[in-house]
Amino acid sequence: MRIVPACVVAVLPLASAAAARAAEAIAAAEPPLRVSLTLAFENDGSFVRENADSDRHETSAAGAILSFHGDAADPLFDALGLAHRGTAWGLVGGQRLFTPEVIDAPTRDPGDRPFAGYLYGGVFVQRELGDALDHLQLDLGIVGPSALGEETQSAVHDLIGEEDPNWIDQLGDELAAQLTYRREWRVPLGEIDAWGVPLGLRVLPRVGFGLGTVERYASAGVDVELGHRLGDSFSAGRLLAPPAATGAAVTGFRAGLFGRAGGSYVQWDTFLDGSSVRDPSASVSREPWRGELGGGFRFAWEGERARFAFEYLQLVLTDRFETQRTTDGVASASLRFEWAF
């Protein structure tokens, strides 16, 4: 009668140890949840063009990107029956400001683009398969005075002591919906040795399109990047094109220098063509073919749990509308913090 309890007592420590080892194995098999917050800012300032300290045209964009890394969207792609190696999803929110060349003129110049503000939020999903990345994003927002463009620019100008913009004849309020897609490829070209430091060279071509009430376009471009420990990353991102969050975490320091070129055909741009629901609306004749050329740098430090990354991009833009009198540029900077739970 006493044999069974004794056996139970003897087996309990073994069962407890086995359960602990099983839990450790399961935890080791499941990758940790990695979440990143990216703070992004873009401005029309550019050291490669004249009058770089003035606000005009694609004046600024600011926002944040919250990304859930490493297999975070696996259930979605599994349910759709789509193959994948890495997945991610995220949320994005931002504000974009567009202004004419002279922001304090008493009347609107019919040959210059109108004032416009755009406030939006969106969700995106990403899939990595082989050396290709798919990014699909849906944004919902508002164009017009309710986007608070005038209030934002006036507050910044009051802070830095610049002239007050008058935002005369800005685009009126209308709801906005925008769907964007891009596919990007990673093409390694080999490695070179620079004073004992291995540097990888690669090409990153991409294509994409946008559909919606904000912009309708088809685009293509390419980055050429030289860097140290580039790993399975893709091209540097912007607020308008969130970076890939599908790659595996790699500890240590990585850095890269890159050049970028791109072009697009634009069938609709509400910030130039005017309101899609209001007639009449302030507008200007859009240039359908666009190009951009520039480059930048990026670096990141990754620990066991924490990661810090910085990216900077500088672009020169072709004319966006027929009566444009000056060449525009845009600078983009982003700061990303990542943590593994």
Tokens 């997945």, located at residue: 87
Tokens 């520039």, located at residue: 294
Q: What are phi and psi of 18, to 5 degrees?
A: -65, -40
User: What local confidence, expressed as pLDDT, does residue 18 receive?
Assistant: 46
**Triad 53, 56, 57: Cα angle to 5°:** 140
User: Which residues, at least 6 apart from 299, have a Cβ–Cβ distance to it below 8 Å?
Assistant: 253, 254, 255, 256, 309, 310
How far apart are the C-alpha atoms of 317 and 236, rounded to whole Å?
18
Rg (the chain; Cα; Å): 25
User: What local confidence, expressed as pLDDT, does residue 165 receive?
Assistant: 87
User: What local confidence, expressed as pLDDT, does residue 226 receive?
Assistant: 98
Q: Digits of tens for pLDDT over the chain (341 positions)?
A: 444 444 434 444 544 554 455 445 434 445 678 999 999 999 986 554 444 555 667 889 999 999 999 789 999 999 999 999 999 999 999 999 999 988 888 888 899 999 999 999 999 999 999 999 999 999 999 999 999 999 999 999 888 888 888 898 899 999 999 999 999 999 999 999 888 899 999 999 999 999 999 999 999 999 999 999 998 899 999 999 999 999 877 789 999 999 999 999 999 999 999 988 877 889 999 999 999 999 999 999 988 889 999 999 999 999 999 999 888 999 999 999 999 98
**H helical segments located in 161-292:** 270-273
User: What local confidence, expressed as pLDDT, does residue 21 receive?
Assistant: 55
What's the burial of 106, exposed, middle or buried (CB within 10 Å: 0-12/13-18/19+)? exposed
Q: Is the peptide bond before 280 cis (omega within 30 degrees of 0)?
A: yes
User: What local confidence, expressed as pLDDT, does residue 30 receive?
Assistant: 59
User: What local confidence, expressed as pLDDT, does residue 29 receive?
Assistant: 45
User: What local confidence, expressed as pLDDT, does residue 68 receive?
Assistant: 97
Three-state DSSP state, 13: helix
- Ordered by where they begin, the domains of the chain are 42-340 (2.40.128.140)
How far apart are the C-alpha atoms of 202 and 189, rounded to whole Å?
5
Tokens 């072009």, located at residue: 263
